[in-house]
Structure 1
Amino acid sequence: MGRIRINNMKFHTYNGVFAEEKKLGQKLEIDVDMQYPIEERVQHDDLKETVSYADVYDTIKEFVTTHSFDLIESLANQLLKKILADYPSLQQVTLRIRKYSVPIDGIFDNVEIEVAGVNND
Structure 2
Amino acid sequence: MGVIRIHNLRFHTFNGVLPEERRNGQQLAIDVALTYPIETKVHHDDLNETISYADVRTTIDAFVHSHSYKLIESLANELLSTLLAEYRMATRIELKIRKYSVPMPGIFDDVEIEVAGDQRD
**Per the shorter chain, which TM-score range?**
over 0.9
CA distance in 1, matches of 2:4, 2:91: 11
RMSD of the TM alignment (CA)?
0.5
Shift in Å at residue 120 of structure 1? 2.1
CA distance in 2, matches of 1:48, 1:34: 16
Shift in Å at residue 66 of structure 1? 1.1
1:5 is matched with which residue? 5
CA distance in 2, matches of 1:77, 1:100: 19
Gaps of 5+ in 2: none
1:98 is matched with which residue? 98
- TM-score (ref. length: structure 2): 0.99
1:57 is matched with which residue? 57
Letter in 1 for 2:110: N
Number of residue-to-residue matches in the alignment: 121
Sequence identity of aligned pairs in percent? 61
Gaps of 5+ in 1: none
Shift in Å at residue 61 of structure 1? 0.4
SS in 1 for 2:89: coil
Shift in Å at residue 101 of structure 1? 1.3
CA distance in 1, matches of 2:11, 2:109: 17
Shift in Å at residue 55 of structure 1? 0.3
1:43 is matched with which residue? 43
SS in 2 for 1:113: strand
CA distance in 2, matches of 1:118, 1:38: 17
- TM-score (ref. length: structure 1): 0.99
